[in-house]
Every structure is written in C-alpha cells, then in structure tokens.
Amino acid sequence: MSEPLAAPSITEIGKARTRNDGPLKVTGTARYASDHSFPNMLYAVPVGATIAKGKIKTIDTSRARQMPGVRAVLKRGDLIPISRITPSFGDALMLDEPRPPFDDDIIRYYGQYVALAVADTFEEAKAAADAVAVSYAAETPNVDPHLVAEETKVVSERGDAKKAYAAAPITIDAHYAISPETHNPIETHATVAVWDGDELTLYETSQGVVNHRNVLADMLGLPRHKVRVIAKFIGSGFGSKLWPWSQSPLAAAAAIKLGRPIKLVLSRPMMFHSVGHRPRIEQRVRLGGSADGRLMSLQHDYVNATSILDDYEENCGEATPHMYSVPNLGVTSGLAKRNIGTPTSMRGPGAVPGLFATESAMDELAIKLGLDPVELRLINEPQLDEGLGVPFSSRHLKECVTLGAGKFGWSKRTSPVASMKRDGATVGWGMATCSWLAARLDCTASIELRDDGTARVASASQDIGTGTYTVMAQMVAEMLGIAIERVEVAIGDSRLPMGTVSGGSMLTASLVGPISAAIAAAGEALLGLAVADQNTPFSGAKAKELQFRQGRIEAQNGNRPTMIFDEVLRGLKISAVSGQGSGEGSFGAQGKPKFSSHSFGAHFAEVTWQPDIARLRVSRVVSVFDAGRILNPMTARNQIEGAIVMGIGMALFEGTEYDTVSGAPVNASLADYVVATNADVPALDVHFIEYPDFNLNALGARGVGEIGLAGTAAALTSAIYHATGVRIRELPLRIEQLL
Amino acid sequence: MQPFDLVRAPDQRTAVAEGAASHTAQQGASVRFLAGGTTLVDLMKLGVERPGRVVDINRLGLDDIHKQANGDLFIGATARNSDLAHHPLVRGSYSALSQAILAGASTQLRNAATTAGNLLQRTRCMYFRDLASACNKRAPGSGCPAIAGTNRMLAILGTSKACIATNPSDMAVAMMVYDAVVHIQGVAGDRQIPLMDFYVLPGERPDIENVLEPGDLVTHVTLSSPSTGERSTYLKLRDRASYEFALVSAAVAITLANGAIASARFALGGIGTRPWRVTEAERALVGQAPSDKVFRNAAEICLRGARPQGQNGFKIELARRCIVHAFKQITQ
Amino acid sequence: MTDLGENIVATDDPGYGRLTVTLKVNGQEREVLIDPRMTLLDCLREVLRLIGTKKGCDHGQCGACTIHINGRRVNSCLALAAAHVGDEIVTIEGLGVPGRLHPMQAAFLENDAYQCGYCTSGQIMSAVALLREPCGMSDDDVREFMSGNICRCGAYPNIVKAIQRARRALRGS
C-alpha cells in the first residue's frame, strides 16, 4: 500500500487574495462592452426627447440622413417589431421599463428615445443625431418633488400602532426625504450588437446576462438559443445594469435591420434619462416610546415617485419590521406618478432609504429621551424577527454596535450639541445601525476537472467589481485542494450554465451550493469512470467504498491509494471530466420562511464642522458588520468602503434635479451631479465579526455589496446634528441649511 | 460637433488674420483659437461653440513666464495653468494666484488649460450648456430659464434681467487682485486692457462677455510687481472637497504696517457674472486694525447690490464669511 | 488663402474632410485617417484599438480617459487627435503588460485599488504622473492630487494606499 497523501493544506476561503482579474484591470486589457469592435461596424447615437410630456408632431431626418457617413436615421416604423413583454423576475425575464423604444409617439419623460442615427464614425453619428429635427406638442410635465400617494397599501402590521402611539409618553413624528439619485457607474451603458443573419450576439453592460438574453430574445422575436449576451467585464452598475433598458433592443434591431454590427454607447447625460435611477422618496416615521427607551409603536409610511407607465416600488419598509423590538407596528407604501424615466433598483433598494428614515427617527428619539443612541439600539434589540415571527438565521447586531463603539471611542462622546472641538473646529459624532437581506437565487454552475491539474468553473453570472472571479476561484481551489492559479473562471456569457444576477448581494451566496454540487457531480463521474476502468487502482471497487473529497479519490477504509483527480484522468487517458450543480434560491420564496436572514451592521461617523466658512467634512468612519463568513476580506472590505463612499455622496452631495418647466434633469453631468471625490473620503475603518450563516449555504457566506451603504447617511446626519444642532431630514444636505 | 477646418498658425500675425475672419469674438464666433481645448472642445461637443475654423496657437511660443525688467510678471497666454501655479516666482510672490489655480479643476485639466483660455472660460450654467434650453447668452432674446429655475450655483452680483450666469474662473479672481493687464495683439495693432476692464457685464447682451474683437489674440498677461511684505491667499468654498466650481471664493492680499492695514485688495469668485472686485471696499480697510468687524464691513461694501435668486441667496452670508476668514488667515 | 506652412493637409476627399495624421503613441508612429472632430480618446479606442483608455463622461469631468502627453497627465477626451502631431502620447498599454507590470500597476494589484476596473487605467496614469509632481507626502496630499479621477465604486482608500506604498518603495530604491 502506498503512503497516504498528506491532506491538502489549501485554505483559500477567508484569504485576503488579490484578484485573479487584477492583471487585466491594471493593464487596460480587460474588455468591457464598448471595447469590442467588428469589421463593418457602424456607430449609433440615440436622439432623446427634449420635452418630458407631450406628443411627437414631426420628426424630420432629411438633413441628418444627408450628412457624410450617415447610413440610416431610424425612427418609429423603421425597425423590426420590438415586442412588449410581461416582466417576470422568477422566470429571469425581468425589466423595469417594458415599453419598447419607439413604441408610440407619446413622450412621458425627458430623454425618451425618438430616433437613432447610425453612421460610419461616432462623430458622424453624433452630428447626425444633433441634426434630427423633432417638433413636439409639449405639455407641462409633472416633476413635482412633493409626493402624495395616489393610494397606499399596508406592507406590514402588528398590534395597533396608532393606538399605542397615542398612548406613548414620548413621541417622534418626522418627515424624511431623499432626492432622486442616479447610479452613474463610470462606464455608461453600451451595446455592441452583432447579427450574422441567424444569431445575435450582444456585448452588453449587464448585471444579468441570462435575464438580458431572455428579455432581448423575446422582445425581438428570436429563439432564445439564437441570442447570446456577453459581459466578461462590466464597469459596475449599482443596479442600473440589472435589467435591460431600451437602448439595447434599439441597437440590436438596428443591427438586424442594417445587417452590420452596431456600437451604441450612451452619453453621460443619457445616464440620467433612460437607464433607471433611485426615485425621490418621502417618508414619515412616527415613534412612540416609554420614558426608559422602549419602543411601543413604530409607524413608517412612505411614497416613492415612479414613471407614468411603470409602477416601480422602492421597498423602504423592508427592514423596518425586523430591525427593532416593537409590539405595535405599521408600514405603508405608496406611489406617485411623475414624468420621469422609470426608476430601478439602486444599491440597497428599499432598506437603504428606509433605514435613513427609521434610524434618523431613532436618533431623534434618543435625543428626546436623553439617552445615548447606542443605548437606545441595545434596549430595543429584538430576540426574533417580530414581523415574521421566526428566529433570525444569524443576528449579531448588538456585538456590531458595542464593538464599533469601542473601536470608535464612543464613550468619550459628550452629548451636548457642538460640545466637542478639535483644532479650532467643531466635531460631531453620530451612529446608526443597519441591515441588508441575505438570500440566494436559483443558480447553476459547472466544473470541468482536467488532466493537467487545472479546473474550470463556469456559470452565466457576472463580476461587476464585486470580486466574483476571485471568490469563485477561491471556492473551487479550496474544494479541490489545488492552487488558485490552477482555477479558470468562466462567467459573463449567457451560453454558460444558467447563473444568476449580480444583484441584491445574493450572487456569491447563490454560487456556493451549485459549485459544491458541480464538484461533487464531476467527482462522481470520475469515480464511475475509475471503477469501471481495469487500469486504475479503483477498478471494481464498490461505490460505497470510495469517495471524492477535496479533489481526490480516496478509499473509506484506506485499502486503496488516494489519487488526485488529474492523476486519475491521466491514468484513464481522459482529458477532462465535468459535472454540473444547481442550487435553489431562497429569495421571494412563498410562505413563511424558517429563518429571517439578514446581514447587520453599525456605523460610527465623525464630521468636522467649521462654521466660519460653513465647511463640513467627514473625518472618520468606523463600521462593523455581521455579514456571515467573509470569503475574501480584501475584496469584501473594499466593497464596504466603496459603499460608505457612496453613502457620503448620498448624505452630502447627490441629488438629481428636475427642471420644473422642462422636466429635464438639469444636472445631467458628472460636474453637476456631485459624487464624492478622493478628497472627500477620510480613513475608513471596517471590521467584520464572522459568524458563518450555515442556514444560507454550506460556507456560511452572505453578500456584502450593499450593506455598507445602509445606515451610512443616518450615521452622518446624526453626527451633523451633534456638531451643528441642525437635523438634516432631506438628503442631500445643503450647507445653506447649516449657515 | 460641427465639421471644421483645423489649421495650425505658424505665427501670431497669421493667427490674428485668421481670427479676424470671424464676425465676432464673442458667442457665435466662426473662428476660434485652440490652446488647451478644455473649454473649446468641451463646448464644441455640446454644440454651444460652432466654429467652422479652429486655429491651433499652441506652437506660437506664447508660453513663457518671467519677471520683466520693470518688475512685472510676464505670463504667456498659452503657458499651462499648472506651470503657472508651480512657478517659483508665482509661489513666492503671488501666492493667491498659485492657490487659486490649484483650487480649480483637476491636475489633468490644469496641465492642458492655458492662461488666456482660463480667463476666457465660459460659464457653467446648465442651461447655457444645454442646446435644448433657451438661453439669452447663446441666443439673445430667447429667455433665461435659470432665473425661475435651478440657480443655486449662479450669480448674485452683476446680473441682469437677461442673465445670471456665473464666471467660474478661480485664476481670474486672483489675477484681478494683482492688477493684471491683458495684452492683446489685434488687427489694428497691440493694446493693453486692465483685467478690471476686460469683462463686460451681461446687461441686455449676455452674449458679449469681454472686450475682445475679431482677430484679437491675447499674447500675455502681466501682473504688477509684488508689494514688499504682502500676504495673500485664496479661499474657495464648495460643497465637496475638490474638483468642483466655487459656491463662493475670495482672493485677498494685504500689507500691514504698525498693526494696521496699509493696503488691501480682494475679489470674489463664484458669485458674480465676472470676478468681483470693488475698490471702495478695499479703501475701507486701509488704516484699520485687522478685526472681524472691519473685514465684515468691507465685505458689506463689496456685496452691495447683490441680488439673490431663488436658490442662491445664501451666497451673501457665505461670501461675508469667506472674506472674513480669508483675511483672518493672512493677518493672524 | 496664405500658405499656412507646417500645416495639416486635407486628404483627396473634400466631402469627408478627413485628415491624415501621424501620432506617436507608446513610442510607435501610427498614421491614421481621421475626422478632425475626433478626440484623441476616440482615436485611441476606435482607430488604434488601444481600448485601455476609457470614456466615462467625454467632457473632462471624471478622469477615466487620463493619458500622458509629453509626460503630463491630461484628459484625452478634450484633446483633438489631429492637434497632437509631434507629441509623445503614452497610454496604459505603454506602461506595462501582465507579467511585466509597472510598479504602480503592481501596487494597485497588491492593494486591491480597484473594483470594477473601469476607472483604473485613468487612476494609474494619474498616479504615475503624480510621482513626478510636487505632491506632499501625506495621505491628504495624495487624495487631493487624485481627485481628478472619480471612482464610483469608491475604491479611494485602497487607491491612496497603493500610491503611498509605491511612492515609498520607489523612493527607497
């Protein structure tokens, strides 16, 4: 009997690994959608409506069509029919704006596409688009920021919130609002559409290649297997690239019509019109508490703006029912239609804006009670999800709070407004807690084990900067006991085994089971081949005798040698064996779940305020998260930090402004829509407390893409109040409010 | 972008002759000089600038920076903003100018942008930059949607019923404080215009922004020789910490003698349709001992006539604080 | 019309007004036939197929298009390609390749100074130029010098870390 092989000592899970796609990103060799070009390719530039409400009277393309290099100027009636489909999230057929481009002559939002100029070069196409003359019968658009719900619905209720509120000794009744926010990934949406007469290939900026393939195929009337969506690298999206938007079928239809590849890249202003945004939200929170800080009643009512045709709901009340222990609770939601582009999920949809309101109200309650805001959270920590009546899968919010307070030095805080000073400036300290859902989506992955010791994992999923390429490789490396350099990761192609979207912080959790199952399936296939082949040491063994574990075939009772998969394959003279595995999602499942699954966290923020020049800066943030097992602390920390940066923007700078006369988003540029620069971001101190959540998957891993944004704005406005005595209830802050 | 002929001027005389073919040097010019391109190319893409002919003046040797025999600082028209900001003469004796340039834009933009280009940069008003919008500066008489619309970043000084667009330059504010003179080579010969007289208020013709005539080529700017013992600074207030135009800014310069202000100059940016300097406000400082009250009083004089719009009235108080703080920084 | 001397000459096809222009990119002379309206950014990406430089806003407001011209970092989206004959143009491709990375590229890799990677070329080109600029040694100095490069993923803290580590390593060597 041969010497037993030493157990592999590969520990990749939990390693702070540099990204395997890093060399491509730092050398500019990673290919994003608009980086692709093809022979005979034409450039397409859309023409957007310059009114927000009304009708097209005439479209005169005559001058544009005569311009040099122009191949076509397409408008309604010029393209193959593009169908309106019925969206279905569960069927991977989701989009927020089903209305096909050019569907009718009615304009419902500024920038709605009315024509498409196609030319040999981008300059020629742009000039032609500018030369298209459209006349409108314009009406006064409704972009009124004051939102009144046409009707409201109950999202969650327990007890009698109104009665308990009326009886409560201490109450808070406050209105909170969030300006519309625009995702603004640095990469604008783009489609490169290639039609060969039979098959359509789309190089897309997509957070969901399978969904995108399904939607486009159905909209264009093509069989799904004849459409392929490729997105190997995506310049992020934050939700704006989850679902297809109308420039995609437009580009594809133009490619089919003209029989030439089409490159369509949105301009930055178009990013404010037609690819979704977080809409304006107005919220009201009423808290009723006892004198010792116990919540007796919580009412959370909110309205979000939506487009004329589509009812997009920002689920602000998502975290409210489970965040706090409160016996009487009511959450209602409503919509208000406006002449705006259809909104869409933007990083942390629902709970992020919702927590701004509820956590701000908690801060106001703490102040009214004379209680430390940390103390108020601890007092009201629930023992179970009181909304669903089920235990939490894994909740360690109290530990996040106490650990964060300790690291921040919170005990040194003096509570009176403007009582803390440093270097001649006033310092404000604030905090907030947060949560974000943890769930899985249906997902499939395949594994190929090769005779050269490498393995390839494949799934039609995406890496939008979240580190998917790397964590998938880490999972496979550890599960197979091979060096990570030997793992090839294939994602970003709808032809791969059906993956799922990069959304809701759910992708990583969704991949764990399928990858593990795929490896098991490949191992089982290998086992089957090994026992059947006379030339292997496993020949004739019974199935129960052997197992495939960490990339090796080994005998249960040690009476056969252990062999690594590539050795077995070489012995079999087979180059590769593969297996596929699927996992069932947990998100949106019917009926009451067994557990309430979320990640949790706490932010502690410091702002520095110089009243003599009205200068407010964020100077320090400490954040602690209970986000399950962290597969890669390096990429996870980066995600959280990035989300906190976005939270600084959300609180201090960001807001899309609609002109009341034209309905246009007037600040449709990266100069006028203000996001955080490097100079706005101080040292960020992020910590994870790792409690693997094995209810979610075998590794106990949850996602961390969105939770960093939850609670950040409230922590900042809490700090701003502490420094200035001004309670910011509408985001973004305007320094004139502090003068 | 409109098609155009791109030509490279071999000498100044030819550049002037090229420019003279345009009917105007103001909005709507059919011939434009190309230096850094950070304003011109930006606006050509938007269709706001539509020259049929673009004359590249980058190789005319107009980029020198040196001290003249009379002590004035010579700054070439196509000297890059970053070179000017980092020049030892400027950092040493014109501190507010160096700070002002470095407070503006980004390193990338400052590496391309030039002296004259910076002085001639156009407003950032979102309606001006949007061809789909009416704009009296682009098309006199078409209307000003900013007045009843979004105007938080726009002007409160030097405005008219036709236009409230802010001049966004930081550099020009500091140059104004240093008594800059703009040197021009034109069709009829050379002339010099003090920067104080260079910009024109919008009035009823917001399309006319300065005194340049067709063919006028700015060749250089001179700054008066620095006063001994003068301290200066530039303070820029904005929402985010960098890479943003000013809400309000101030360039201030002061000399003290025996605990009192011997001379003072200051100008405001981000709040006027041109950089805003009021000499009466400066005279009010002379002879006074530095104090918040004294600086506030000068601020009030400077801000006289300020007309707040719907969203920018806060700039008045912000400007007061800016002036006071800037002066305090150099007198403490 | 006077002879404009060392001028750029239009091609034979006046209807299109294209220019034949020779650009020196990453040490190589490249002759291109382009529309005068073409920016250097689009010329690099669409004609020369050097796709490492990215378009984020096309108006000098994000820095994703940052390249070096004559050793200085500039926004290529605001440069007209035809106006840069005779200039030394360096793009991310000219800095290093996988396996032979510039120390700054290696520092970005080691410090996870990116997420989606779209702004990364511009960040690195800015960071390399910063090495030759009068940037103070503090993190705040680096933050200010790098503020002309927007990162919507918010990888700023790691970008600063990467740059500071690269600076220290290069100074030490």
pLDDT by residue (tens digit) across B199-232? 999 999 999 999 999 999 999 999 999 889 999 9
Q: What whole-number distance in Å separates Cα of residue A570 and Cα of residue B139?
A: 78
Backbone angles phi, psi at A505, to 5 degrees: 60, 30
**Which of B50, B240, B242, B296 should one mutate to test binding to chain A, selecting the residue with the greatest count of A CBs within 10 A?**
B240
Cβ pair B6:C36 closer than 8 A:
yes
**Which of A67, A659, A675, A739 should one mutate to test binding to chain B, selecting the residue with the greatest count of B CBs within 10 A?**
A659
Which pLDDT does position A89 carry in this prediction?
94
Q: What is the token pair recorded at B229? A: 């013992």
Q: How many angstroms from the chain centroid is the CA of residue A685?
A: 22
Tell me how crowded residue B15 is: count the other CB atoms within 10 A of its CB.
Answer: 24
Q: What whole-number distance in Å separates Cα of residue A1 and Cα of residue A561?
A: 7
User: Max Cα separation, chain A?
Assistant: 88
Q: What is the token pair recorded at A559? A: 């009476």
Cβ pair C157:A465 closer than 8 A:
no
Which pLDDT does position A6 carry in this prediction?
54
Tens digit of each residue's pLDDT (9 = 90 or more) over A141-165: 999 999 999 899 999 999 999 999 9
Beta strands in A179-327 (DSSP E): 190-195, 200-204, 227-230, 262-265, 281-289, 295-306
**Which of A21, A27, A684 should one mutate to test binding to chain C, selecting the residue with the greatest count of C CBs within 10 A?**
A27
Which pLDDT does position C13 carry in this prediction?
45
Which pLDDT does position A5 carry in this prediction?
53
Q: What is the token pair recorded at B43? A: 């606006």
Q: How many CA atoms lie within 13 A of C20 on its CB side?
A: 7
Number of A to C CB contacts under 8 A, please give it: 189
Domain boundary among B40, B58, B76: B58
Which pLDDT does position C9 carry in this prediction?
37
Q: Does B47 touch chain C (CB under 8 A)?
A: no
Which chain A residues have any C-beta within 8 angstroms of a chain B C-beta? 50, 68, 123, 126-127, 130, 612-615, 617, 652-653, 657, 659-662, 664, 666-667, 669, 671-672, 674, 676-680, 734-736, 739
The CA dihedral of A528, A529, A532, A535, to the nearest 10 degrees, is -140
Which pLDDT does position C6 carry in this prediction?
35
Cis peptide before A633 (omega within 30 of 0): no
C-alpha distances in Å from residue B217, one per residue of B78, B110, B117, B120, C56: 11, 21, 11, 12, 33
- The structure's pTM equals 0.97
- Domain assignment present for residue B208? The answer is no
- The per-residue pLDDT of chain B, averaged, comes to 97
Of the partner residues C35, C42, C61, the one whose CB lies closest to the CB of residue A671: C61
Of the partner residues C35, C73, C79, the one whose CB lies closest to the CB of residue B37: C79
Of the partner residues A27, A634, A641, the one whose CB lies closest to the CB of residue C92: A27
| In the predicted structure, residue B137 carries a pLDDT above the cut 90 | yes
- The per-residue pLDDT of chain A, averaged, comes to 96
Q: Which residues contact C78 (CB under 8 A, 6 or more apart)?
A: B37, B38, B41, B42, B109, B112, C39, C59, C60
Of the partner residues C2, C36, C66, the one whose CB lies closest to the CB of residue B108: C66
Q: What whole-number distance in Å separates Cα of residue A296 and Cα of residue A160?
A: 10
Kindly give the pairing relationship between strand A420-422 and strand A563-564.
Answer: unpaired
Q: Amino acid identity of B131?
A: L
Contacting residues of B for C66, CB less than 8 Å apart: 108
**Which of C37, C100, C105, C152 should one mutate to test binding to chain A, selecting the residue with the greatest count of A CBs within 10 A?**
C152
Kindly give the pairing relationship between strand B5-8 and strand B53-56.
Answer: parallel
CA angle B166, B169, B173 (to 5 degrees): 100
Q: Does C36 touch chain B (CB under 8 A)?
A: yes
Nearest residue of B to residue A666 by CA position?
B126
Helix (H) or strand (E) holding B297: helix B292-302
- Tell me the residue range of the domain where B322 lies: 231-331
Shortest Cα–Cα distance, C65 to chain B (Å): 10
| In the predicted structure, residue C10 carries a pLDDT above the cut 70 | no
Cβ pair B239:A652 closer than 8 A:
yes
Catalytic residue among A488, A706, A730, A736: A706
Could you tell me which of A383, A380, A290 has the C-alpha nearest to residue A326? Answer: A380
Shortest Cα–Cα distance, B242 to chain C (Å): 6
Shortest Cα–Cα distance, B17 to chain C (Å): 10
Which pLDDT does position A9 carry in this prediction?
60
Residues of C (32-61) whose Cβ lies below 8 Å from A:
35, 37-38, 42, 45-46, 49-59, 61
- Domain assignment present for residue B166? The answer is no
Nearest residue of A to residue C55 by CA position?
A187
The total domain count for chain B is: 2
Cβ pair A676:B240 closer than 8 A:
yes
Q: Which residue has the tokens 């805001």?
A: A373
Q: Does B1 touch chain C (CB under 8 A)?
A: yes
Phi-psi label, residue C128: left if phi above 0, alpha if psi -120 to 50, beta otherwise: alpha
Confidence of residue C82 (pLDDT cuts 50, 70, 90): very high
Cβ pair A19:C112 closer than 8 A:
yes
Beta strands in A266-325 (DSSP E): 281-289, 295-306
Q: Strand B189-194's sheet: what is its strand order?
A: B65-67, B73-76, B217-223, B181-186, B189-194
Q: How many residues does chain B have?
A: 332
Contacting residues of C for A28, CB less than 8 Å apart: 50-53, 91-93, 120-121
- CATH number of the domain where residue B300 is located: 3.30.390.50
The answer to whether B202 touches B273, Cβ cutoff 8 Å, is yes
DSSP secondary structure string for all residues of B74-137: EEETT-BHHHHHH-HHHHHH-HHHHHHHHHSS-HHHHHH-BHHHHHTPPP--TTTT-TTS--TT
Q: How many angstroms from the chain centroid is the CA of residue C148?
A: 13
Ranges for all domains in chain C classified under CATH 1.10.150.120 = 103-172
Q: What whole-number distance in Å separates Cα of residue C77 and Cα of residue C71?
A: 17
Which pLDDT does position C171 carry in this prediction?
85
Q: Which residues pair with A42 in a beta bridge?
A: A262
- Domain assignment present for residue B197? The answer is no
Shortest Cα–Cα distance, C92 to chain A (Å): 6
The CA dihedral of B219, B223, B225, B226, to the nearest 10 degrees, is -150
- A706 among known catalytic residues: yes
Contacting residues of A for B240, CB less than 8 Å apart: 652-653, 674, 676-677, 679-680
Instruction: Domain C103-172: give its CATH architecture.
Output: Orthogonal Bundle (1.10)
Which pLDDT does position A588 carry in this prediction?
82
Cβ pair A617:B237 closer than 8 A:
no
Tell me how crowded residue A6 is: count the other CB atoms within 10 A of its CB.
Answer: 7
| In the predicted structure, residue C7 carries a pLDDT above the cut 70 | no
Q: What whole-number distance in Å separates Cα of residue A430 and Cα of residue A414?
A: 11
> Residue A625 gets which letter from DSSP?
E
Could you tell me which of A491, A484, A443, A499 has the C-alpha nearest to residue A468? Answer: A491
C-alpha R_g of chain A: 28
- CATH number of the domain where residue B9 is located: 3.30.43
Q: Chain C: list its partners (3+ Cβ pairs within 8 Å).
A: A, B
Show the low-confidence residues of chain A (pLDDT under 70).
1-10
Cβ pair C74:B108 closer than 8 A:
yes
Backbone angles phi, psi at B221, to 5 degrees: -125, 140
- Domain assignment present for residue B54? The answer is yes
Q: Which residues pair with A310 in a beta bridge?
A: none
Backbone angles phi, psi at B50, to 5 degrees: -135, 55
Q: What is the token pair recorded at B252? A: 């201030």
What are the percentages of helix, strand and coil residues in chain A, rounded to 5?
30, 25, 45
Q: Chain A: list its partners (3+ Cβ pairs within 8 Å).
A: B, C
Cβ pair C109:A19 closer than 8 A:
yes
The answer to whether A434 touches A362, Cβ cutoff 8 Å, is no
Q: Which residue has the tokens 């919580």?
A: A298
Of the partner residues A18, A19, A645, the one whose CB lies closest to the CB of residue C154: A645
Q: Which residues pair with A620 in a beta bridge?
A: A606
CATH superfamily label, C9-94? Beta-grasp domain (3.10.20.30)
Residue range C20-38: mean pLDDT, rounded: 97
C-alpha distances in Å from residue B183, one per residue of B68, B77, B205: 14, 9, 24
Shortest Cα–Cα distance, C40 to chain B (Å): 11
Tens digit of each residue's pLDDT (9 = 90 or more) over C96-105: 999 999 999 9
